[in-house]
Amino acid sequence: MFDYERFEDDLVQQMLVVFNHWIEQAHDIYSLDCERGMESIGAIANTTHYLEKQADTDSEDYWYYKYCEEEWDLFDTFKTISADLSKCLDDNKSVFTSQKEPYKYSEVFDKHCDEIIKHCKNALVRFRKAINKNHSDILLNFHMRGYWDSDDRVEIFQSVNSESASKEYSEHIEEFA
Q: What was the pLDDT predicted at 134? A: 92
pLDDT exceeds 70 at position 96: yes
What's the confidence (pLDDT) of residue 36? Answer: 72
Those residues whose C-beta lies under 8 Å from the C-beta of residue 119, and which sit 6 or more positions away, are 4, 5, 7, 8, 11
* Sheet arrangement for strand 74-77: 74-77, 41-45, 31-34, 141-143
Distance CA 87, CA 164 (A): 41
Q: What tens digit of pLDDT does each residue of 152-176 get?
A: 999 999 999 999 999 999 999 999 8
Interval 37-54 mean pLDDT: 90
- pLDDT-based confidence at residue 25 (cuts at 50, 70, 90): confident
The model carries a pTM of 0.91
- Would residue 92 be called left, alpha or beta, if left means φ above 0 and alpha means ψ between -120 and 50 degrees? alpha
pLDDT at position 114 is 95
Residue 74: enclosing H or E segment and its boundaries?
strand 74-77
Give the pLDDT confidence of 130-157 residue by residue, as tens digits.
999 999 989 999 988 888 999 999 999 9
Compute the mean pLDDT over every residue in the chain, rounded to the nearest whole number. Answer: 91
* pLDDT of 115 above 70: yes
Please say whether the beta carbons of 140 and 27 come within 8 A.
no
Q: What is the mean pLDDT of residues 121-125?
A: 95
